[in-house]
Structure 1
């Protein structure tokens, strides 16, 4: 079942003092989020690394209330076949983009939350933030992201979902105490006596 995943920020094109990318790795109401430097070049990029290869199902982006990018492109990547474990050796697939509101209707007080539904496998998430909306509060043409949530399931090399620890314990208990084909106390063994007429069985299955 898809669940919230931790991540580590590997790279950002720029970071303003006091608004580190580490803020994105912490999820609580007091975080300040990440901001680009003043008068930064565009586009700006943020690259996240998930703990394991993941089938991503949902991405949530909470934008700053007035340091707002006009558009955010979303890419997902994984190790190339030769297993070059480096930032530049990662191949990315473009999943699409989201456009952000200029936030004038809320007088730049509310933060916009964008939820993106995804069905793709990878371990590296690349966000490309395009030029900011111009408003009277954004004096230095910056962009900012308050929070990022990633939801999905970790998968193995064949793309099969790896059960989380809780589900894995349940499966182990089932396999240990309820193996397939075993009869339990009070349960009758299957019998082949008086088999059902095939014509009746066929009618039941229709």
Structure 2
């Protein structure tokens, strides 16, 4: 049963540069900031893990925007060829467009913005943060591939939290390499006993709690 106190999700169409991306916007009342989600390869705005984290943030008074990085036509092509899901430059440009849209949209224009990236979406989040230093206030990566944005990391000005599962040894190493390139305040948080997707009992809750605390501190000053 849906909690009647939960804020409603609003379907939005994010249009820029002659493309249109589908999104789901939730704004609790009052909202302390906006977190924009960038999903991982082969996923979408319907990612169950991202939606779990988003609902956790909504309960803490943070607005969330989940959106599809690809258009419907591109998703159809990518399902067959996988040609877009690792195109980090394209994904970064899409996220930058969404950030600019959020700053102009009447419902979200006044919010400080945080970025939450999963897997390849984390690379897009860091690239977008480097490109919009005055607009992005914080970044969180979940099981991310920040190494795919190495050339942008020195330009990131937003405090960055990198969350990795303790059993995800390859991604831990990649995140350690990326963390060494960050010149801004950052933290690498390793969740003990968790694999790449944080599927073990209680592990995704730990991710959500870490994410909430980071964004509340840097978006809301609490």
In the superposition, the TM-score normalised over structure 1's length comes to 0.25
Q: Which has the higher helix share?
A: 2
Which structure has the higher relative contact order (CA within 8 Å, separation 6+)? Answer: 1
Q: Which has more radius of gyration?
A: 1
Q: Which has the higher strand share?
A: 1
